[in-house]
Amino acid sequence: MTRLLLLLFASSATLLVFGLWIPLKAALAQEMLEIAWAESQARQTQSRPWPWADTWPVARLAIPELNDSMIVLADTHGESLAFGPGRLTGDDHSAGAVIIAGHRDTHFRGLKVLETGNELRLQDRTGRWRSYRVESARVVDSRAELIDTQQLPEGTLLLVTCYPFESIDAGGPLRYVVRARATANGDWKEQIDTVARI
């Protein structure tokens, strides 16, 4: 009986650790990414968060409605999405469209509560912020609809994650897409970092 209880306890502990591994990894990585982001801004260079990283910080995304701020990584290749959202298109000084993808169960889990009119902010490596307002949020079936990045108007920000949020199956064809537009005063400009409190 003692062996059975010990086996059940060990199995439960193992399942708990594996269940918490991705969220824990995402949270710890953001701390290391914060350091790399500060270094990137200070040196104006690409600073990798750890020596073997296949990505680096390219922006900070702030979502005041969620009281949340996160470092955005270059691309979505390798295992980078486990550590933070990744920028698919757009660059630090572009007025064009920016697309950022993230996991629905870690960094982008709060997208489901965003509403039309909510503010989003994106900081570039020079420390300048650009403000956006949410225009819409919808579910897209990736088998039937593709996002043509060439057709997106300048000043568009898309946040993309898997859908449904509560599904236990990962990697299905549905995507949740939040679309935001740069505000009239949303051009890159020097601002006091009010998001540091988030």
- When pLDDT is cut at 50, 70 and 90, the band that residue 1 belongs to is low
The per-residue pLDDT for 3 is 63
d(CA 12, CA 10): 5
- Give yes or no for residue 14 having a pLDDT over 70: no
Residues near 80 by beta carbon (within 8 Å), at least 6 away in sequence: 54, 55, 73, 74, 86
Q: In 3-state terms, what secondary structure has residue 21?
A: helix
- When pLDDT is cut at 50, 70 and 90, the band that residue 50 belongs to is confident
Beta carbons of 149 and 97 less than 8 angstroms apart: yes
How many domains, the chain? 1
The per-residue pLDDT for 8 is 58
Sequence-ordered strand ranges (E) for the chain: 57-63, 68-74, 86-89, 98-101, 119-123, 129-141, 156-162, 174-182
The per-residue pLDDT for 32 is 87
Tens-place pLDDT, residues 150-198:
888 999 999 999 999 888 877 789 999 999 999 976 554 444 444 444 4
Q: In 3-state terms, what secondary structure has residue 52?
A: coil
Q: Which two tokens stand for residue 77?
A: 């290749």
The per-residue pLDDT for 192 is 40
The per-residue pLDDT for 105 is 86
- Give yes or no for residue 149 having a pLDDT over 70: yes
- Closest of 151, 138, 149 to residue 179, by C-alpha: 138
- Give yes or no for residue 25 having a pLDDT over 70: no
Instruction: Count CB neighbours of 67 within 10 A.
Output: 11
Cα separations in angstroms, 71 against 17, 26, 62, 197: 25, 11, 9, 15
- Give yes or no for residue 16 having a pLDDT over 60: no
Mean pLDDT of the chain: 82
Q: Model-level pTM?
A: 0.79
Tens-place pLDDT, residues 62-75:
999 999 999 999 98
The per-residue pLDDT for 61 is 97
Tens-place pLDDT, residues 73-116:
998 876 788 888 999 877 655 567 999 999 998 889 999 999 99
Q: Which two tokens stand for residue 164?
A: 């449904």
Instruction: Look up the CATH number of the domain holding residue 184.
Output: 2.40.260.10
Residues near 126 by beta carbon (within 8 Å), at least 6 away in sequence: 41, 44, 92
The pLDDT of 40-45, averaged and rounded, is 88
Q: Which domain holds residue 95?
A: 2-197
By 3-state DSSP, what share of the chain in percent is helix, strand and coil, each rounded to 5?
Answer: 30, 30, 40
